[in-house]
Structure 1
Amino acid sequence: MTKLMVQGTTSDAGKSTLVAGLCRVLLRRGHAVAPFKPQNMALNSAVTADGGEIGRAQAVQAQACGIAPTVDMNPVLIKPASDTGAQIIIQGKVQGNMTAQNFHRYKPEALAKVLASYQRLCSQYDSVITEGAGSPAEINLRQGDIANMGFAEAVDCPVVLIADINPGGVFAHIVGTLELLSPSERKRIKGFVINRFRGDLALLQPGLDWLEEKTGKPVFGVIPWLHNFHLEAEDAINREQPNHSGHFRVVVPVLPHISNHTDFDSLRHHPDVNLEFVALAETRVQADLIILPGSKNVRGDLAALRNSGWDKHLQRHLRYGGKILGVCGGYQMLGHTLRDPHGLEGEPGDSAGFGYLPLDTVLEQAKQLRNIDGALTLAGETATVAGYEIHQGESRLTETAEQPFLWNDHRREGCLNADNTVLGTYCHGVFDSPGGANTLLQWAGLTRETAIDIKAMQNTELDRLADTLEQHINLQQLLQACEATL
């Protein structure tokens, strides 16, 4: 049994990427391997094969393992809805909204769920690669920790510490992290990986030698900066533009509680599309298509759009011949009314939508989760699409309107206005199917059918990542160190 936990000196140190790469390496070596993250805080989520909700990073890692994602791969998912509160999802199902203090008191119960999920994975696979969250050295979060060393100690799991050299201070990050751990936790760390290095490795070698002498622990390897590397971000928006000069401009406003922005990764790589995430203050951007994305606090983000002048900008955009697409929360905003009688995303109340689509939405206690396999028909063209739904809103049409999506349960979904200028859907990932992307973009005004296959690209990138780890990480040393007796 190979079990290993990757922890980071900081957020965005490369934990998700290293776990995905190690999973693909082990898969190629014939292992039955699964990813695991005990606790994840992210607004990018996925629907699993067993009908639950987990962080998207674990879905990508499951893809690296060649298996379908399950709720056991991320038993605790925290989806912030405000600065002080969040929706807590346990083993794929909504537990409720909690403040930070309430969740802290809930942690012992959450740990029991985490351990149950981990044991199930260990019984089904011969390798489980675990990802930590943030940093293990957050002093204020140490008590009752279930995300990093608290979990590693509970299951007796060895740890590899990864640090990002790109911002600077990598040796301070590593040594400082060790200093803030207990003796048993320091012993649990078997060695280090340094990420995102650019330059001549010979110039870094004296520092690596010093680090090994100072800590008595090996540096398993240095991962170079991977140029034009594209793998789904766990939560932060990737604003890096691929090397192409797309002429068709798509704009996505960055909502305060934007969720599932990975819906648009395939557009970032589309050779004819120039995708831009813009701040709410940028209300005079020119675009062919504006997409209102998902949101974890739809009424709050709707108010933020209005306060920034986006209601007038959307009117102006349509007046000059542009198109608007709303996805999930963005779809709800395009209707007439949005009601939250139970206060699921903030204070209970009603909000007026932008009024472009004939629908009313009520947020309900039960969250709707489903994978989708169906068809999209627009402008006489029909394309097969696959995606998923994650929402608590129940939207009902207030008048007859065209519903362009037909799913595998023969349920029509979505709404197109009478002017053929505004479209909404609950389907996340609709651009990931090349046929769906081509049809949607053709409706929006792009005539060339040049959409990419994002899943095939992700598999290529996962293989590229695995090749990089094979070349730059002493994997034999790393795996042997982690399989040694603690």
Structure 2
Amino acid sequence: MDTPRRAAAYTLMIQGTTSDAGKSTLVAGLCRWLARRGVRVVPFKPQNMALNSAVTADGGEIGRAQAVQAQAALLAPHTDMNPVLLKPSSDTGAQVIVHGRVLADMEACDYHAYKTRALAAVLESHARLAAAYGLVLVEGAGSPAEINLRDRDIANMGFAEVVDCPVWLIADIDRGGVFAHLVGTLELLSPSERARVKGFVINRFRGDPGLLTPGLDWLEARTGIPVLGVLPYLHGLHLAAEDAIAAEPCAKPGAQLRVAVPVLPRISNHTDLDALRLHPQVELRWVGPGEAIPPADLIVLPGSKNVRADLAHLRAQGWEAAIRRHLRYGGRLVGLCGGFQMLGRALHDPLGLEGPAGSSPGLGLFDLDTTLAPGKCLALRHGRLAFADAAVEGYEIHMGVSRGPALAQPALWLDGGGAEGARSDDGQILGTYLHGLFDTAAARDALLAWAGLAAPAATPDLRSRCEADLDRLAAAIDAHLAPAALAGLLDRGRAGA
């Protein structure tokens, strides 16, 4: 007797009228809503451009938003969830990562030509997910109305056309012009693309819903497409950012420790600072171009996708002198990944992996040199702080090998006995390749005490906080999206399971 074939997974794509319209958030919320109801749902983003990334269970690299969406779906992150990741290293070039591994560094025109081959990798990953799960929730990138990128598109309607999937279009009303965004996007789509749009979602609404009703009625009459829901502005919602640093007030009543973070042009994995940003006793200040580093107890040099260029920017801003002055007066300094590399004597890029080949002097605060090489270190790590009995866990994503006497006094001891990072003899400076250094409660408390916080208050574990926010987001979706639309997803997901 023949074994019945499992129904093919249903695929739905979420596209946005703009970047940061809420695509990542809607996919995460839908993943959580469906997973809590027993649907085997999986997130998928064909092509992502982001400098915040995550290490997967299969040892690859994907966009951080897809790792959060995997958590929402109660899954471990996997490289098939984001088969193509672009990590910009300049205004015109990026490192191209395919199926979790570095393929090459390409200029924009070269990558555009490569897209036909990239599409094959995208479809391969989608096919594997569609065979293993009941429902594939796809996140687009930017806007489908970027007509200059329509040729060879693999991130929005180009993908939707190839796999023949429906699209929901989301727009952010908090930006203003939401009706123009939605109608204008439709006007710039081809007839076949326009026919794929099965519903609108309006995001980040605050105010009296009754005042919006005339506009929604007009929109549906004008386009013939239903408004599936109006999601409220969820104050205090915290999900790890895909790329951009959220603008927010830095002042915090009751804060007892001041942290300053220079924002580098190619800053990467700034989510490393989320645990400090959310701490009730810590006032974290992002320091942008043209701003002076303010008085602080702790300065953190974050990761960078182009360390030599970002170090030159740091010097041009006058921040090197500010860092040295900070140390003279007893302040603490942490270098994370690329920020750690900046602390050494020199940075060498003999193959021109992140820009023109050559070397740059480092800040000279650690007796070590770093040389960039083609291989990228991708690893999940567990260990303990070298100066405190505190567990730490995180991940490494970096190119380059650091060598020198400074490593004899490590920042961490990794499980298995390996030394990692460096500490200065005077105890003021710590450098490490570990992303997520502050995420573990015990390590965060020990590091804050080292930085000068006398009695660190307990803060929620970041994963627990994310879990609570994902559940809150799913509850908002349950309350504000059309019941018929959600029921349809539920039925299709269960049919494909």
**TM over 0.5, yes or no?**
yes
Single out whichever of 229-238 and 422-431 deviates more from structure 2.
Answer: 229-238
Q: Verify: 1:142 aligned to 2:146, yes or no.
A: no
Given candidates 93, 102, 105, the residue that maps to 2:110 is 102
Give the drift of 1:167.
Answer: 1.5
Output one character per residue of 1:50-95: Cα deviation in whole Å (capped at 9) or x when no partner.
0000000000000101111000000000010001111000010001
Give the drift of 1:478.
Answer: 4.9
Runs of 4+ in 1 over 4 A off after TM superposition: 241-244, 481-484
* Amino acid paired to 1:203: L
Given candidates 295, 302, 306, the residue that maps to 2:315 is 306
Give the drift of 1:400.
Answer: 6.1
Rounded to whole Å, the distance in 2 between the matches of 1:49 and 1:81 is 26
Give the drift of 1:311.
Answer: 1.5
* Amino acid paired to 1:5: M
Give the drift of 1:408.
Answer: 2.3
Give the drift of 1:229.
Answer: 1.4
Which residue does the alignment assign to 1:447?
Answer: 454
Output one character per residue of 1:210-245: Cα deviation in whole Å (capped at 9) or x when no partner.
111111111000001111111111111023258653
Rounded to whole Å, the distance in 1 between the matches of 2:346 and 2:27 is 43
Q: Verify: 1:363 aligned to 2:372, yes or no.
A: yes
Q: Verify: 1:89 aligned to 2:97, yes or no.
A: yes
1:317-332 aligned within 5 A: 317-332=326-341
Listed as ranges, the gaps of 5+ residues in structure 2 are 1-8
Distance of aligned partners of 1:199 and 1:399 in 2 relative to their CA distance in 1, 3 Å threshold = closer
Rounded to whole Å, the distance in 2 between the matches of 1:31 and 1:291 is 42
Distance of aligned partners of 1:330 and 1:400 in 2 relative to their CA distance in 1, 3 Å threshold = closer
Given candidates 97, 109, 122, the residue that maps to 1:114 is 122
Contact 2:203 2:231 in 1 (8 A): yes
Rounded to whole Å, the distance in 1 between the matches of 2:215 and 2:247 is 32
Which residue does the alignment assign to 1:12?
Answer: 20
Output one character per residue of 1:328-372: Cα deviation in whole Å (capped at 9) or x when no partner.
000000011110001010000001110111111000100000001
Given candidates 62, 68, 88, the residue that maps to 1:60 is 68
TM-score for the superposition, normalised by structure 2: 0.95
SS, match of residue 212 in structure 2: helix
How many residues are matched?
482
Give the drift of 1:104.
Answer: 0.6
Rounded to whole Å, the distance in 1 between the matches of 2:442 and 2:185 is 48
* Amino acid paired to 1:296: K
Which residue does the alignment assign to 2:5?
Answer: none
1:204-215 aligned within 5 A: 204-215=212-223
Which residue does the alignment assign to 2:488?
Answer: 480
Rounded to whole Å, the distance in 2 between the matches of 1:276 and 1:283 is 11
Which residue does the alignment assign to 1:26?
Answer: 34
Contact 1:5 1:130 in 2 (8 A): yes
Q: Verify: 1:219 aligned to 2:219, yes or no.
A: no
Distance of aligned partners of 1:425 and 1:373 in 2 relative to their CA distance in 1, 3 Å threshold = same
Contact 2:407 2:420 in 1 (8 A): no
Which residue does the alignment assign to 2:6?
Answer: none
Distance of aligned partners of 1:241 and 1:429 in 2 relative to their CA distance in 1, 3 Å threshold = farther
Output one character per residue of 1:312-332: Cα deviation in whole Å (capped at 9) or x when no partner.
111100111101000000000
1:216-295 aligned within 5 A: 216-241=224-249, 244-295=253-304
Which residue does the alignment assign to 2:408?
Answer: 401
Rounded to whole Å, the distance in 2 between the matches of 1:280 and 1:165 is 29
Rounded to whole Å, the distance in 1 between the matches of 2:178 and 2:366 is 51
Which residue does the alignment assign to 2:397?
Answer: 390
SS, match of residue 379 in structure 2: strand
Contact 1:192 1:221 in 2 (8 A): yes
Distance of aligned partners of 1:478 and 1:213 in 2 relative to their CA distance in 1, 3 Å threshold = farther
TM-score for the superposition, normalised by structure 1: 0.97
Given candidates 124, 140, 151, the residue that maps to 2:159 is 151
Rounded to whole Å, the distance in 1 between the matches of 2:389 and 2:142 is 44
Single out whichever of 65-74 and 436-445 deviates more from structure 2.
Answer: 436-445
Given candidates 410, 429, 432, the residue that maps to 1:425 is 432
Percent identical residues: 60
Contact 1:220 1:478 in 2 (8 A): no
Distance of aligned partners of 1:115 and 1:475 in 2 relative to their CA distance in 1, 3 Å threshold = farther
Single out whichever of 193-202 and 394-403 deviates more from structure 2.
Answer: 394-403
Distance of aligned partners of 1:470 and 1:399 in 2 relative to their CA distance in 1, 3 Å threshold = closer
Rounded to whole Å, the distance in 2 between the matches of 1:312 and 1:22 is 48
Give the drift of 1:109.
Answer: 0.5
Rounded to whole Å, the distance in 1 between the matches of 2:400 and 2:329 is 31
Output one character per residue of 1:129-165: Cα deviation in whole Å (capped at 9) or x when no partner.
1100000010100000000000011111111000001
Rounded to whole Å, the distance in 2 between the matches of 1:463 and 1:68 is 18
Which residue does the alignment assign to 2:85?
Answer: 77
Q: Verify: 1:51 aligned to 2:59, yes or no.
A: yes
Which residue does the alignment assign to 1:346?
Answer: 355
SS, match of residue 432 in structure 1: coil
Contact 1:239 1:276 in 2 (8 A): no
Rounded to whole Å, the distance in 1 between the matches of 2:120 and 2:249 is 42
* Amino acid paired to 1:234: E
Contact 1:374 1:385 in 2 (8 A): yes
Single out whichever of 306-315 and 70-79 deviates more from structure 2.
Answer: 306-315
Rounded to whole Å, the distance in 1 between the matches of 2:111 and 2:425 is 46
Rounded to whole Å, the distance in 2 between the matches of 1:85 and 1:424 is 28
Which residue does the alignment assign to 1:182?
Answer: 190
Give the drift of 1:476.
Answer: 2.8
Q: Verify: 1:170 aligned to 2:178, yes or no.
A: yes
